Amino acid sequence: MTQVTQKQNETVQSQGIMALQCGYYSKKENADISIPTISSYCQPFVVEENGNYRVIAGLYDDELGMKKLDELKGKGIDVAKVSIQIPTDTLEGKKIFQIVEGFLQITSKFEESDVKSVKTADFKTWVDGIINDGNSIQSEKLKNIQSYVQSLPDEISKSNSADSVQSLYTLIKS
C-alpha cells in the first residue's frame, strides 16, 4: 500500500505492509489460548501493546495479505487487517522498507507446502549492502534492524518463523 500526495510530481511518503490480527485481549492467557485455533493456517504470535495482547497471524505484502485474509475468513476465523506504514521520504526509511520487503519475501515462501525452511545467508549479505550503501549516518532503529538480521538463524524453518516475524514486527512498530 502506498500513500501519495496529490502534487504535480507525486511523491511517495510512506509504504505499507499488512498485519493480520486475529484477536485483542486484556490477558495474555486468553491470547495464548487462541493460537492453536489458527496455527494450522499461519505462524501466529502474540505481542503486548499498551498492556493488551494482540494475536497476529503474520505480516504480509498487500497481495499475499489479502489472500491470507480471505483464507482465514473462509475458515470462519475473525481477522482484521492492520496497516503498518513505514515512512519512505528519507533514505533511511527507504532502506528499512526494502529490508522489511525482503524479509517478507522469505517468510512468504512458507505459504508453499513443499518449503520446510529458507536459508538466510544471502539475505544477510544483501541487508548489509543496503545498510552500508552511502554515507548516511545510521539511526538507532536501522542499527537495531541490522543487528536483528545478523542474529537470524542460518536457516529459518516454519517452526521458528513466527519468532522471527514477531521480532521484526516489534522493531518496525518501535
Spatial neighbors of 85 by CB under 8 A, at least 6 apart, are 1, 3, 14, 15, 16
**CA–CA distance, 67 with 74 (Å, rounded to integer):** 10
Digit-coded pLDDT (tens) for 21-60 = 999 999 999 999 999 989 888 889 999 999 999 999 999 9
Taking the whole predicted model, whether its pTM rises above 0.95 is answered as no
Instruction: Tell me if the domain spanning 2-173 has CATH number 3.60.21.10.
Output: no
The residue-averaged pLDDT of 131-139 equals 77
